[in-house]
């Protein structure tokens, strides 16, 4: 069977049985190939051209570059011989996330494990999960190729679009997380926060970077004060904060591996939903080691009075508070979170706009507090 990518959908076959697909977007080609292509992740380095020498964005362990993806002009045959990709001139804008040099995977075992992580991601299919298009390796650096999101992440998107439906975005995050947790291989995200939620052209949210920071930290043995973790400690659950240096117990010398769990994901979901709803990050008053202390000491990520002053529904606060139970076993499963958020939507709950006067006043006060702490 041959597949030709053209610019408009046309499911008709010609007399030779060649199917003509019609989309200029790589995701349509990817979907058309279905399960044939997702058995193993493809190395698409030869198909990718980095457009700019500097990164468009940077995270805890990687830099993101704007790039173009051009499918190879030669036909490619799958191992089972069932399909061919015929030459096409379509060029697609993509993002290439490249691990920094100090995160380099010099040992073969680590690169094998990364390939396994990426293969699992590559096989996922859900409307609230970023689709991984392929892996990348150049100049000794490893990376991954995914669609380009013009709207950026949820944090910057909401700053530019204060009228966006934030309860819907929270529901999208819950749906993506429920899919990961309910997957046959049970996938723990491990680094859920607003900057790891990307916004599609239609305004819906998708999750990215699940499992990767956990892999990097396990591979390099990072501690709480590493560059990789420094940006994410505000979203840590108490049991993780204690293990990473937030305990006052001098006898706590447990050196066993730190493992993120479904329950720690639930805590992070509550923090991320708080961030999306209010525009205020969890534990926004604290920095450095102090954050670890207050998390392990039982302080909640957000302030209930501030939450309600913003006109946010009490039901949503109650749901987030259930995510912040000090006992991991008491935190709700993600399918229940999704069900509750859908119920709130059915009751026409509305989250007030980011640009309301009271919201502006509170955000200004929080910003001044952060500036004083940092100064």
Domain of 50: which CATH number?
A: 3.30.200.20
Which run of H or E residues covers position 268? helix 262-278
**Does residue 259 share a domain with residue 162?**
yes
CATH code for the domain of 356: 1.10.510.10
**Does residue 323 share a domain with residue 243?**
yes
Cβ atoms 290, 237 nearer than 8 A: no
pLDDT of res. 46: 92
CA–CA dist 223, 100 (Å, integer) = 18
pLDDT of res. 32: 43
Q: Of the residues 147, 175, 191, which one is the last residue of a structural domain?
A: 147
Range with the lowest mean pLDDT among 137-151, 198-212, 214-228? 214-228
Q: Of the residues 86, 120, 147, which one is the last residue of a structural domain?
A: 147
Both tokens of 369, joined, read: 């507090």
Report the candidate in 96, 97, 115, 87 with the shortest Cα–Cα distance to residue 29.
87
pLDDT in tens, 17-32: 433 333 334 444 454 4
Report the candidate in 27, 41, 30, 43 with the shortest Cα–Cα distance to residue 142.
43
pLDDT of res. 374: 45
pLDDT of res. 180: 96
365: pLDDT confidence band, cut at 50, 70 and 90?
Answer: low
**Domain containing residue 272:** 154-374
For residues 209-219, give the mean pLDDT: 67
Cβ atoms 332, 263 nearer than 8 A: no
Phi, psi angle pair for 49, to nearest 5° = -125, 120
pLDDT in tens, 108-145: 777 777 888 888 889 999 999 999 999 999 888 889 99
Distances (CA, A) of 189 to 23, 149, 255, 371: 31, 20, 23, 31
**Does residue 138 share a domain with residue 191?**
no
Cβ atoms 194, 208 nearer than 8 A: no
**Does residue 121 share a domain with residue 203?**
no
pLDDT in tens, 230-263: 458 999 999 999 887 655 555 555 556 678 899 9
Which run of H or E residues covers position 19? strand 19-22
Cβ atoms 174, 341 nearer than 8 A: yes
pLDDT in tens, 262-320: 999 999 999 999 999 999 999 999 987 889 999 999 999 999 999 999 989 999 999 99
**Does residue 104 share a domain with residue 40?**
yes
**Does residue 118 share a domain with residue 170?**
no
Report the candidate in 76, 78, 54 with the shortest Cα–Cα distance to residue 67.
54
Residue 108, judged by CB atoms within 10 A of its CB (0-12, 13-18, 19+), counts as exposed
- Residues with Cβ within 8 Å of residue 375, at least 6 apart in sequence: none
pLDDT at 216 over 70: no
pLDDT, mean over the chain: 78
pLDDT of res. 257: 63
pLDDT at 50 over 60: yes
**Does residue 220 share a domain with residue 173?**
yes
Helix (H, G, I), strand (E, B) or coil at 69: strand
How many percent of the chain have pLDDT more than 90? 48
**Does residue 172 share a domain with residue 62?**
no
Q: How many domains does the chain have?
A: 2
Look-up of token digits 């193993």: 40
Cβ atoms 67, 90 nearer than 8 A: no
Residue 314, judged by CB atoms within 10 A of its CB (0-12, 13-18, 19+), counts as exposed
Report the candidate in 212, 225, 206, 216 with the shortest Cα–Cα distance to residue 148.
206
pLDDT at 61 over 50: yes
> Is pLDDT larger for residue 311 or for residue 15?
311
Q: Of the residues 116, 147, 178, which one is the last residue of a structural domain?
A: 147
**Does residue 309 share a domain with residue 179?**
yes
β-pairing, 134-138 vs 141-147, is antiparallel
Compute the chain's Rg from CA coordinates: 22
**Does residue 254 share a domain with residue 297?**
yes
pLDDT of res. 232: 83
**Does residue 329 share a domain with residue 215?**
yes
CA–CA dist 243, 322 (Å, integer) = 22
Q: By 3-state DSSP, what share of the chain in percent is helix, strand and coil, each rounded to 5?
A: 45, 15, 40
**Does residue 193 share a domain with residue 53?**
no
Q: Which of the 8 DSSP states describes residue 277? A: H
Which pTM does this prediction carry? Answer: 0.79
Cβ atoms 205, 128 nearer than 8 A: yes
Phi, psi angle pair for 65, to nearest 5° = -115, 140
């Amino acid at each position: 069977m041959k597949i030709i990518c053209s610019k408009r959908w046309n499911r008709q076959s010609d007399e030779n049985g060649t199917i003509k697909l019609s989309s200029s977007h790589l995701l349509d080609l990817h979907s058309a190939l279905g399960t044939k292509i997702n058995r193993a992740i493809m190395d698409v380095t030869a198909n990718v051209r980095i457009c700019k020498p500097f990164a468009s964005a940077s995270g805890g362990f990687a830099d993101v570059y704007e790039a173009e993806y051009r499918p190879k002009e030669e036909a490619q045959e799958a191992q089972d011989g069932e399909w061919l990709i015929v030459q096409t001139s379509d060029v697609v804008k993509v993002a290439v996330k490249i691990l920094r040099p100090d995160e380099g995977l010099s040992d073969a075992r680590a690169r094998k494990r990364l390939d396994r992580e990426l293969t699992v991601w590559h096989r996922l299919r859900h409307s609230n999960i970023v689709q991984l298009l392929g892996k990348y390796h150049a100049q000794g650096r490893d990376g991954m190729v995914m669609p380009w999101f013009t709207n950026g992440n949820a944090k910057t998107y909401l700053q530019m679009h204060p009228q966006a439906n934030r309860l819907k975005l929270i529901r999208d995050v819950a749906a993506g997380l429920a899919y990961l947790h309910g997957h046959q291989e049970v996938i723990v995200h491990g680094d859920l926060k607003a900057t790891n939620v990307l916004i599609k052209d239609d305004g819906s949210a998708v999750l990215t970077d699940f499992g990767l920071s956990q892999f990097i930290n396990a591979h390099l043995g990072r501690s709480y004060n590493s560059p990789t973790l420094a940006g994410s400690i505000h979203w840590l659950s108490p049991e993780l904060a204690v293990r990473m240096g937030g305990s006052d117990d001098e006898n706590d010398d447990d050196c066993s591996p730190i493992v993120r769990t479904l329950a720690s994901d639930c805590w992070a979901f509550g923090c991320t939903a708080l961030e999306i709803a209010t525009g205020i990050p969890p534990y926004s008053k604290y920095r450095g080691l102090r954050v670890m202390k207050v998390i392990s000491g039982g302080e909640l990520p957000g302030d209930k009075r501030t939450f309600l002053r913003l006109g946010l529904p009490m039901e949503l606060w109650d749901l987030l508070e259930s995510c912040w139970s000090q006992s991991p076993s008491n935190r709700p499963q993600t399918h229940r979170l999704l069900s509750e958020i859908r119920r709130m939507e059915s009751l026409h709950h509305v989250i007030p706009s980011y640009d309301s006067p009271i919201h502006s006043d509170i955000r200004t006060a929080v910003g001044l507090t952060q500036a004083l702490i940092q100064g």
